[in-house]
Chains A and B, each alone.
Chain A
């Protein structure tokens, strides 16, 4: 009696945050399938302009996680339904600063997380992806 799972693309309510479409990149911001939402790596894009914003790392992380919240809420989910996060930094020295801002968004019952550093595209200081439960 297994139902066939439906796969649907997620579209942000703010069209300026559809960074992959704006950049003509071959991915969508997220996919919902069954009970799960899989988001693409979110980056610091200014929700007012749709442009990448490369301020201090704390601002970049805050903007990225705000965009993640917007994306999840656009899909009818929320940050407190996130189960897994991959947090990637361009510079490993920014880990403590990222953690400080990260706590503002996940103050309790935080998701599972893995954090590391590697080369990121477009000069982004961070890129954060997640798996969340749909509501």
Chain B
């Protein structure tokens, strides 16, 4: 039997499409026992609008949205195994970390942080892979 693939469409907080249409990505997809979450940017969960801010405020908004996305997918922040964080500037890494630590259990997930060119002037993108709680 092949592993189950399920799009988690009820979840909010995904990257807006660069061309103004609906995003060409699902917020999260379940594949087997894992949840794959898209790179999230700082958006208002209700309106889907971008909420530009500081690295710290964008990180806080994203991780709050990530919590909701994971819950909608039958997972949670303490089931996350790997996080990738993209920052517009690595000089901002301490500001991201300060907010980040409050969201994850001890021990926190594995993580990679990179500086990169991000679309639409966003300062932070965070994606993760998590385990499903309900099998």
Q: Measuring CB to CB, which residues of chain A are less than 8 angstroms from any residue of chain B?
A: 34-36, 80-81, 83-85, 92, 95-96, 98-100, 102-103, 106, 109-118, 131-135
Q: Are B26 and A109 in contact (CB under 8 A)?
A: yes
Cα A34 to Cα B20 with chains together (Å) = 38
Q: Are B39 and A114 in contact (CB under 8 A)?
A: yes
Contact (A92, B117) CB under 8 Å given A111-B29, A114-B84, A133-B31: yes
In this assembly, does B91 line the interface, its C-beta being within 8 Å of a C-beta of chain A? no
Q: A92-B119, A114-B127, A115-B39 are in contact. List 16 more A-B contacts (CB 8 A).
A: A36-B31, A80-B5, A99-B24, A100-B19, A106-B24, A110-B24, A111-B25, A111-B29, A112-B25, A112-B127, A114-B38, A116-B116, A116-B117, A116-B118, A132-B31, A133-B31
Q: Are A35 and B25 in contact (CB under 8 A)?
A: no
Cβ < 8 Å to A, chain B residues 23-39: 23-32, 34, 36-39
Within the complex, the shortest CB–CB distance from B53 to chain A, in Å, comes to 19
Cα A34 to Cα B31 with chains together (Å) = 12
Q: Are A133 and B36 in contact (CB under 8 A)?
A: no
B7 cross-chain contacts in A, Cβ below 8 A: 109-110
In this assembly, does B2 line the interface, its C-beta being within 8 Å of a C-beta of chain A? yes
Within the complex, the shortest CB–CB distance from B122 to chain A, in Å, comes to 9
Q: Could you name 16 residue pairs across A and B whose Cβ atoms are closer than 8 Å?
A: A35-B3, A36-B3, A84-B36, A92-B118, A99-B18, A99-B19, A102-B24, A110-B24, A112-B26, A112-B28, A113-B25, A116-B117, A117-B119, A118-B116, A131-B31, A135-B2
In this assembly, does B55 line the interface, its C-beta being within 8 Å of a C-beta of chain A? no
Q: Are A113 and B3 in contact (CB under 8 A)?
A: no
Within the complex, the shortest CB–CB distance from A75 to chain B, in Å, comes to 13
B3 cross-chain contacts in A, Cβ below 8 A: 35-36, 133-134
A115 partner, pick from B29, B32, B119, B129, beta carbons under 8 A: B119
